[in-house]
């Protein structure tokens, strides 16, 4: 149901569907997001094999892991502005198609013998456009959630698409490990490329805004409209005086300055950075840690890595469902979003306990607890869709994602240097655990969860 860019066709009357259309849209963005994370984490499962074949050092591998985030973070703001300007349908399709091509291109690296430094440069260079082309994905997901789901269901909706990152590892880690073991690492990227192209076609053929979507019944549309969903964000605004008084300010430089001066949003930005530090450890260095730190084979790593990811998936869903459940029981929006977030990130700090044991089974249990806690506490997208100004939902989502993705630059590089310098992952794990602590004061800075609104200047409120 994401928006098209220019259509102003009237609402279409349809018979009520057996499955509400918004759930089918959510299923589609869940699948796309899972592939998104499989693409960006593909190097973590194949990294050991690529490192052995092409001769990368540990520090070089750390920089390659971080390359995605250098571009991803920088392009969040322009990506969000393009989403607000052109809508999710067209921008998401373009993004998905382009990142798919870049992912598939990695399979070609090293087919012609090249010096190690050249191979490193090529892989690094290919990961940069991958970050650029994936940058609109999560802001687009947040825009779809704001468009297709009422406030009372938005926690669950954002939890579902956000939990796709864990599902991606749980599903694709064993598959990637098996493919790499049987046929080599190149075929992992070929498979992901083919899958992405199929999803691009499906997205273009099926999506539209709720007001015009062929599967949205009148009852569902009424529920969305009354529940606070932005069912047609690009619809022309009425020009009468009363409507202009209610109209929100456009996304101009003054509104942008107000956004960056809003304390609650800075709480979101910092907490998202902390959450992402744990994310990037698990999607970059965790499989390498299992191979080099615990002595597992690549085939074993694929299945072992799926266990924490599966529990992270369960934790991510639980966070959204618990949050919306608290809302239904009369708790405030602030409490419903903050309590699961604080509890989850507190559990995530348990990753530091790995330093006190050398038992593999216990270490995996600790990692599983930390990852499930991180999933439980990952409500940043729900909070963002709750409080972002209506005219800048994608901009605010992109800003949050951009700040959060700084962790994708810092975490892989810091871990690469510390592991090479110490020969151990102990300091690296303490570094990751510290981010769970950092999230707690950030949640306090958020204050009350409520929609931020910037009105037009008084001189612009009348014709």
**Which of 456, 385, 401 shows the shortest CA–CA distance to 147?**
385
pLDDT at 233: 57
Q: Supply 80's token pair.
A: 């969000």
Domain coordinates in residue numbering, the chain: 21-230+251-460
Tokens for 229? Answer: 């969903």
Lowest average pLDDT, out of 295-309, 316-330, 447-461, goes to 447-461
pLDDT above 70 coverage of the chain, percent: 86
Contact 8, 235 (CB under 8 A): yes
Going by C-alpha positions, the residue among 257, 85, 233, 216 that lies closest to residue 147 is 233
pLDDT band at residue 252 under the 50/70/90 scheme: low
pLDDT higher than 50, residue 13: no
Q: Which of these ranges, 21-30, 83-92, 267-276, has the smallest mean pLDDT?
A: 83-92
- Give the number of C-alpha atoms closer than 13 A to the C-alpha of residue 187, restricted to the C-beta side: 10
Other C-beta atoms within 10 Å of 211: how many?
Answer: 20
pLDDT value, residue 234: 53
pLDDT at 10: 46
pLDDT value of position 386: 80
φ and ψ at 225, to 5 degrees? -65, -45
**Of the candidates 433, 418, 290, 459, the residue with the CA atom closest to the CA atom of residue 361:** 290
3-state helix, strand, coil split of the chain in percent (to 5) is: 75, 0, 20
Residue 449: pLDDT above 80? Answer: no
Q: What is the pLDDT of residue 235?
A: 53
Q: At residue 8, does pLDDT exceed 50?
A: no
β-bridge partners, 248: 455
> Which residue intervals of 281-425 are DSSP H helices?
286-288, 298-328, 333-348, 360-376, 380-387, 393-404, 406-422
pLDDT confidence band for 230 (50 / 70 / 90) = low
| Residue 234 or residue 258, greater confidence | 258
pLDDT at 9 over 90: no
CB 109 within 8 A of CB 54: yes
pLDDT at 212 over 70: no
| Diameter over CA atoms, the chain | 72
Q: Identify whether the C-beta of residue 323 lies closer than 8 Å to the C-beta of residue 392.
A: no
Q: Domain spanning 21-230+251-460 has what CATH number?
A: 1.20.1250.20
- Whole-Å CA distances, 357 to 138, 246, 372, 432: 37, 60, 20, 17
Higher pLDDT among residues 272 and 207, named by residue: 272
- Residue 83 CA to residue 248 CA, distance in Å, equals 18
Cα end-to-end distance, the chain, whole Å: 33
Tens-place pLDDT, residues 236-247: 444 444 434 334
Q: Which residue has the higher pLDDT, 142 or 130?
A: 130
> Among 248-252, 253-257, 272-276, 430-434, which stretch is predicted with the lowest mean pLDDT?
248-252
Could you read off the pLDDT of 376-426 as tens digits, one per residue?
888 877 788 787 777 677 778 778 878 888 998 899 999 989 988 888 888
**The CA-based dihedral angle spanning residues 372, 328, 391, 8, taken in that order and rounded to the nearest 10 degrees:** 110
Q: Is the dihedral of CA 143, 148, 151, 155 positive or negative?
A: negative
pLDDT at 250 over 70: no
- Residue 171, pLDDT > 70, answer yes
What's the pLDDT score for residue 7?
A: 45
Structure tokens, 445:
């800075």
140 near 92, Cβ under 8 Å? yes
Which tokens belong to 7? 């259509």
| Candidate ranges 50-64, 135-149, 179-193, 326-340; pick with highest mean pLDDT | 179-193
Query: Which pLDDT score, from 0 to 100, does residue 66 have?
Result: 87
pLDDT above 80 for 49: yes
Q: Tell me the pLDDT tens digit for each residue of 293-307.
A: 788 877 788 788 888
Q: What is the mean pLDDT of the chain?
A: 80
- List Cβ neighbours of 142 (8 Å cut-off, separation of 6 or more): 158, 381, 384, 385, 393, 394, 397
Q: What is the mean pLDDT of residues 77-93?
A: 79
The span from the CA of 210 to the CA of 12, in Å, is: 10
pLDDT band at 56 (very low <50, low <70, confident <90, very high): confident
């Amino acid at each position: 149901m994401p928006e098209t860019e220019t259509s102003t066709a009237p609402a279409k009357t349809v018979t009520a569907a057996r499955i509400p259309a918004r759930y089918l849209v959510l299923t589609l963005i869940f699948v796309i997001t899972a592939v998104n994370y499989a693409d960006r984490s593909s190097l973590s499962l194949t990294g050991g094999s690529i490192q052995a074949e092409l001769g990368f050092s540990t520090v070089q591998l750390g920089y390659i892991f971080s390359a995605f985030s250098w571009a991803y973070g920088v392009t969040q703001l322009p990506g969000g502005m393009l989403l607000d300007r052109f809508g999710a349908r067209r921008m998401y399709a373009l993004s998905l198609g382009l990142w798919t091509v870049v992912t598939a291109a990695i399979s070609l690296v090293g087919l012609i013998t090249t010096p190690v430094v050249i191979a490193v440069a090529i892989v690094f260079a290919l990961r940069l456009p991958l970050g650029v082309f994936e940058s609109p994905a999560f802001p687009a997901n947040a825009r779809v959630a704001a468009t297709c789901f009422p406030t009372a269901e938005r926690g669950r909706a954002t939890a579902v698409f956000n939990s796709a990152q864990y599902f991606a590892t749980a599903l694709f880690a064993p598959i990637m490990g098996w493919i790499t073991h049987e046929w080599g690492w190149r075929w992992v990227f070929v498979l992901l490329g083919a899958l992405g192209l199929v999803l691009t076609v499906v997205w273009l053929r099926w999506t539209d805004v709720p007001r015009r979507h062929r599967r949205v019944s009148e009852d569902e549309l009424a529920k969305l409209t009354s529940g606070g969903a932005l069912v047609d964000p690009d619809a022309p605004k009425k020009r009468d005086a009363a409507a202009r008084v209610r109209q929100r300010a456009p996304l101009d430089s003054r509104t942008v300055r107000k956004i960056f001066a809003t304390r609650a949003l800075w709480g979101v930005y910092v907490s998202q950075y902390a959450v992402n530090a744990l994310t990037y450890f698990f999607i970059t260095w965790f499989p390498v840690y299992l191979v080099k730190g615990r002595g597992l084979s690549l085939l074993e790593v694929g299945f072992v890595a799926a266990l924490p990811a599966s529990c992270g998936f369960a934790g991510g869903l639980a966070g959204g469902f618990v949050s919306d459940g608290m809302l239904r029981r009369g708790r405030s929006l602030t409490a419903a979003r903050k309590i699961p977030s604080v509890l989850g990130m507190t559990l995530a700090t348990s990753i530091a306990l790995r330093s006190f044991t050398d038992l593999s089974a216990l270490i995996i249990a600790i990692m599983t607890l930390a990852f499930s806690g991180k999933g439980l506490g990952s409500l940043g997208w729900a909070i963002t869709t709750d409080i972002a100004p209506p005219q800048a939902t994608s901009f605010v989502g992109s800003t949050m994602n951009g700040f959060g993705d700084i962790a994708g630059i810092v975490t892989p590089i810091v871990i690469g240097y510390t592991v090479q310098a110490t020969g151990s992952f102990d300091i690296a794990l303490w570094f990751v655990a510290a981010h769970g602590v950092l999230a707690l004061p950030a949640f306090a800075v958020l204050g009350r969860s409520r929609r931020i609104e910037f009105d037009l200047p008084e001189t612009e409120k009348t014709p």
